[in-house]
Structure formats: C-alpha cells, structure tokens
C-alpha cells in the first residue's frame, strides 16, 4: 500500500476533496494507495476535524515551538516518514500548508511533493494572486497543480484549470470560484500521478 500524507494549515477543503475522491474512486484498489495521515502546523486547523471524521490519522506540529525553520522541517519529516515503509511516504501533498519549506526538505521528497497554487502559473507566484490578477486586468484566472521545487511555485506543472474573471469581481469572489476548480483538478492530478508512478514501477 502506497501512503499519501497531506499537510494543511487551515480549513482543509482541498484535503477533504482529495479524501472524498480517493474513497469514491477506490484508490486502494486502482492504485494501491490511500490517504494515511493529515498533518498541520496549527492546532486550530479546522481540517484536522474533517480528517478525523474520515478515520484518518492526524498530527499537529506547531512551527512556533521550534527554534528555526530547519528544526521544524526536520521534525516534520520525521513525522511524515512514520507513515510508510521503507520509511517515506509514496506521495506528500500540500493542501493549504502555509509554510515555505527548506531546500533540504524539498530535496528529501523530490518528485513526490505536490502543491496547488491559485493562479495560472507561471503568472502570479506567491501570495495575493487574485488581487494581482484583477489589478493586472486579466480576463482569466485559475489554479495550477505542480511539483514542488526549491524555487517557489516554479515546479513542473501537472494540471491547470481556467476560470473567467467576471465584471465586478473582487478577490474574494474570484477566490471562491477558483477554489471550486481546485477541488476538481487536485484529486485528478494526484490520481494521474499515482497511475503514472504505477506504470513506471
């Protein structure tokens, strides 16, 4: 069984969409994979309760309890690696995990670390993507699933969804419409990754 570990910091709506799709489409039977754990850097992350309700193991590592970013990432890696054999998960998924990861952490999970970003990368990496798109006068926004590298939001693009910007949109309205597409493309991209990895095995 290939274990998937999901990292969150907040409500966990993308995590919930992934878990729902994994169960509905029976990833265990089709890909030999399951969501094994959800880990948060915030104890008050609402997504933790959602995960527990689905019978998924959860863990909290408060980043403020560590002396440095490197110390937190090292502790996080130790927790993640408990969820598979021979010591690392098959796939690590960032779903609203609001931490910039150190290069050493990214290298540890190279090729097995995915993220979703609320813009059509390479446009608007980083924060405040919807506001930037509106200020730039864009006609479209969207979301991108990509592999994580040491360069912020620069990894290989695996999937994208296009969302039109409507007259009168504000950042919150646009974000809500983009989020509905995130919930569709992220599970699809993960399933495609699992299928491709299975074909290569």
As annotated, the active-site residues are 117
Query: How many CB atoms sit inside 10 A of residue 27's CB?
Result: 23
Cβ proximity of 14 and 95 under 8 Å: yes
Q: What is the distance between the alpha carbons of residues 146 and 13, in angstroms, rounded to a whole number?
A: 18
Joined together, the tokens standing for residue 102 give: 């150190």
Q: What is the distance between the alpha carbons of residues 76 and 163, in angstroms, rounded to a whole number?
A: 34
Joined together, the tokens standing for residue 159 give: 């999937």
């Amino acid at each position: 069984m290939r274990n998937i570990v999901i990292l969150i910091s907040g409500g966990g709506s993308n995590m919930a969409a992934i878990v729902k799709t994994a169960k509905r489409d029976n990833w265990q039977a089709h890909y030999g994979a399951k969501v094994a754990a959800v880990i948060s850097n915030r104890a008050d992350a609402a997504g933790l309760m959602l995960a527990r309700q689905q019978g998924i193991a959860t863990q909290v590592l408060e980043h403020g309890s560590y002396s440095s970013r490197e110390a937190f990432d090292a502790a996080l890696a130790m927790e993640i690696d408990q969820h598979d054999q021979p010591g690392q998960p098959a796939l690590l998924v960032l779903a609203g995990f609001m931490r910039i990861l150190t290069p050493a952490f990214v290298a540890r999970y190279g090729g097995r670390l995915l993220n979703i970003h609320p813009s059509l990368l390479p446009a608007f990496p980083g924060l405040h993507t919807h506001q930037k798109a509106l200020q730039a006068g864009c006609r479209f926004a969207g979301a991108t699933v990509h592999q994580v590298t040491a360069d912020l939001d620069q990894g290989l693009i695996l999937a994208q969804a296009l969302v039109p910007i409507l007259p009168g949109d504000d950042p919150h309205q646009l974000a809500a419409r983009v989020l509905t597409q995130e919930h569709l493309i992220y599970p699809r991209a993960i399933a495609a990754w699992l299928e491709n990895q299975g074909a290569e095995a």
